[in-house]
Chain A
Amino acid sequence: DIQMTQSPSSLSASVGDRVTITCRASQNIDNYLNWYQQKPGKAPNLLIYAALHLRTGVPSRFSGSGSGTDFTLTISGLQPEDSATYYCQHSYTTLYTFGQGTKLEIK
């Protein structure tokens, strides 16, 4: 199985900050990497697919990069509504696995 490791597990930042979350795969996954946002008590929502493509309707302050084993999710100009847990997920094999999540708190 491909293991996905996110860092940090949690972070706290202020409105307007630039935040970066990283995701590392245990083997090469090319660009088969997606990012999701989950707010408390809600279902996850897709943010970015295929490593860098923004889902329609997602604010442009979210961006993704990376290829191979190392990926990043960046939020430029943090907003209060960005308080959530963020998950990366690979789709390189049928058994999709997720990172453990990064909980983002707004100060």
Chain B
Amino acid sequence: EVQVVQSGAEVKKPGESLMISCKTSGYSFTTYWITWLRQMPGRGLEWIGTIDPKDSETKYSPSFQGHVTISVDKSVITAYLQWSSLKASDTAMYYCARLDYSGSLGWLDPWGQGTLVTVSS
């Protein structure tokens, strides 16, 4: 069974750093890109960026470029999303999802259960 399992909820202060994780199983890790998404409280879904685990090629939404970093560790088949300096506005639920595909068509499946990040002084 293909699964992506995310790390647990985090409570941080503004200015702190954070890395959350997305551990995969049940498929060849380097065959599918991993995508990170944000959902702010009561809001819709936003695409943060996506990474190719094969060579760590990464693509970011302009809205998030420079504020977050996406990475992978192939040895533990895990993707990461990190911040060097959190802001209160980073408070949100963060999801990772495998980017499944057929030719050039792509879709997100499955999704992780989400990691709630709360940033508050």
Contact = CB atoms under 8 A, between A and B. Distances in A.
B59 interface: yes
Contacts of A44: 45, 95, 108, 111
B28 interface: no
Interface in B104-121: 104-114
Contacts, number: 61
Interface SS majority for chain B: strand
Contact of A32 (B47, B105, B109, B110): B105
A45 interface: yes
A6 to B, nearest CB: 9
Interface of B: 35, 44-47, 50, 59, 61-62, 95, 100, 102, 104-114
Closest 3 A-B residue pairs measured CB to CB?
Answer: A49-B107, A46-B109, A91-B106
